[in-house]
């Protein structure tokens, strides 16, 4: 059986949202494909996205950037962690290559832990990288311009440039420093609208369902002190333990994230690829809180402004919960669903060709 190893960064859920639809399509083309996913996400979350059988190895392959919360980067600690991560870099790559060889994959598909790509090169295993960003460019944005940072950055770039191809998923950062690049259309996993089911499961008959989805990194909103807004039901993470009768825990809805998003009126989130793309293709307005200097943000916001609806909410309003006018603005400017991109099929075709080539 052909074997695909899928390595996914531990930084947020958007990387999973990009990767899973491509792997699902690839298995449709290669039905006997064996898939191993290495990810720090839970198996239950991965099963919401990967609709095909897979083996899950629960591990954090990298850290991306160390965060205070979902929108604020802890820059000093991130830089310190990168210095530690790159200490004895060559030995770490050799160890990672040994672990990869033991799995015996025919191809590595990485989004986008770069040590995996360096290990694949050392192990002689073909690799494909895919993402709307890369950690080398993110690191360079925050790191000082000194000899140590330049050396770390060079090792990161060498790893990314070792892949057979880096698939830049639109909307994307420029990534001008990468040498083997192919730009593909957006990727989104479309949900099925089940509004009546969502309304029945959250209780009552609210006029607006608002999904609060801040991504895979903690960012709790102080909703206990928010004023009530007539007719609004907030769907929030269960871990927040919000004790209000105008909220429901999204995990208790019994619906996949994509179906739930498509069934809601508005999504409150931070700029992140998966939620932005899925909202645009579902025609669901986004209210977002800024991630400050996060270098990917302007490209996501610009794209959603052209293909969907996005309204920024400032931190002060989030703290106080005076969301009525922001909700009204988002709902009044709602657009029809954007035309679905072909990124899934473009990426699957490239992976298919490489997989067939490695099996010859």
For 155-190, the DSSP string reads HHHHHHHTSSEEEEESS----TT-SSEEEE------
Residue 305 in any domain: the answer is yes
- The rounded distance, in Å, linking the Cα atoms of 299 and 305 is 10
Distance of alpha carbon 348 from alpha carbon 351, whole angstroms: 5
Same domain, 207 and 327: yes
Same domain, 117 and 225: no
> In this structure, is residue 69 part of a structural domain?
yes
What tokens were used for 326?
């922001």
How does pLDDT run across 64-102, given as a tens digit for each residue?
999 999 899 999 999 999 999 999 999 999 999 999 999
Q: Which domain holds residue 16?
A: 3-187+342-359
Q: Per-residue confidence at 261, pLDDT binned at 50, 70, 90?
A: very high
**Residue 268 pLDDT greater than 70, yes or no:** yes
93 and 70, same structural domain? yes
One domain, residues 183 and 226 = no
Q: Report yes or no on 114 lying in a domain.
A: yes
Q: Is 93 domain-assigned?
A: yes
Residue 226 domain-assigned? yes
CATH assignment at residue 36? 3.40.50.2000
Overall domain count for the chain: 2
Asked if 136 and 95 sit in the same domain, the reply is: yes
| Tens of pLDDT, residues 98-152 | 999 999 999 999 999 999 999 999 999 999 999 999 999 999 999 999 999 999 9
117 lies in the same domain as 240: no
Is 337 part of a structural domain of the chain? no
Name residues whose C-beta falls within 8 Å of residue 2's C-beta, 6 or more positions apart in sequence.
Answer: 30, 32, 33, 34, 106, 355, 359
DSSP secondary structure letters along 187-234:
--------HHHHHHHH-S--SEEEEE---SS-----GGGPPP-TTEEE
Query: Same domain for 246 and 102?
Result: no
- Both 296 and 352 in one domain: the answer is no
Based on the fold, state whether residues 142 and 291 are members of the same structural domain. no
Distant-in-sequence, close-in-space partners of 46: CB < 8 Å, separation ≥ 6? 16, 20, 37, 39, 54, 56
Residue range 35-45: mean pLDDT, rounded: 96
* pLDDT above 90 as % of the chain: 89
The helix/strand/coil state of 286 is strand
pLDDT of residue 339: 82
* pLDDT mean across residues, the chain: 95
């Amino acid at each position: 059986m052909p074997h695909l190893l899928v390595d996914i960064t531990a930084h947020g859920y958007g990387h999973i949202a990009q990767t899973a639809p491509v792997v699902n399509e690839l298995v449709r083309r290669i039905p006997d494909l064996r898939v191993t996913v290495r990810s720090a996400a839970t198996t239950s979350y991965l099963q919401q996205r990967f609709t095909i059988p897979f083996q899950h190895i629960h591990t954090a392959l990298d850290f991306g950037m160390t965060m205070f919360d979902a929108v604020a980067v802890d820059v000093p600690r991130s830089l310190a962690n990168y210095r530690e991560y790159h200490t004895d870099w060559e030995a770490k790559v050799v160890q990672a290559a040994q672990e990869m060889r033991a799995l015996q994959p025919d191809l590595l598909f990485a989004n986008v832990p770069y040590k995996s790509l360096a290990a694949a090169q050392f192990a002689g295993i073909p690799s494909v990288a895919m993402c709307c960003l890369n950690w080398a460019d993110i690191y360079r944005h925050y790191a000082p311009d000194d000899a140590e940072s330049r050396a770390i950055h060079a090792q990161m770039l060498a790893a990314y440039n070792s892949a057979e191809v880096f698939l830049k998923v639109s909307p994307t950062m420029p990534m001008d420093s990468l040498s083997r690049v192919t730009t593909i259309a957006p990727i989104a996993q479309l949900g099925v609208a089940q509004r009546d089911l969502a309304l029945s499961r959250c209780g009552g008959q609210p006029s607006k369902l608002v999904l609060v989805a801040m991504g895979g990194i903690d960012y709790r909103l102080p909703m206990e002190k928010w004023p009530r807004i007539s007719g609004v039901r907030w769907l929030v993470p269960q871990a927040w333990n919000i004790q209000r009768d105008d909220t429901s825990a999204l995990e208790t809805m019994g619906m996949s994230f994509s179906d739930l998003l498509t069934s809601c009126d508005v999504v409150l989130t931070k700029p992140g690829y998966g939620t932005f793309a899925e909202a645009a293709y579902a025609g669901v307005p986004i209210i977002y809180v800024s991630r400050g200097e996060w270098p990917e943000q302007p490209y996501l916001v610009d794209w959603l402004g052209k293909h969907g609806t996005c309204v920024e909410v400032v931190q002060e309003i989030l703290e106080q919960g005076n969301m009525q006018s922001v909700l009204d603005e988002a709902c009044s400017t709602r657009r029809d669903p954007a035309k679905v991109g072909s990124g899934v099929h473009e990426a699957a075709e490239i992976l298919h060709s490489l997989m067939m080539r490695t099996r010859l």
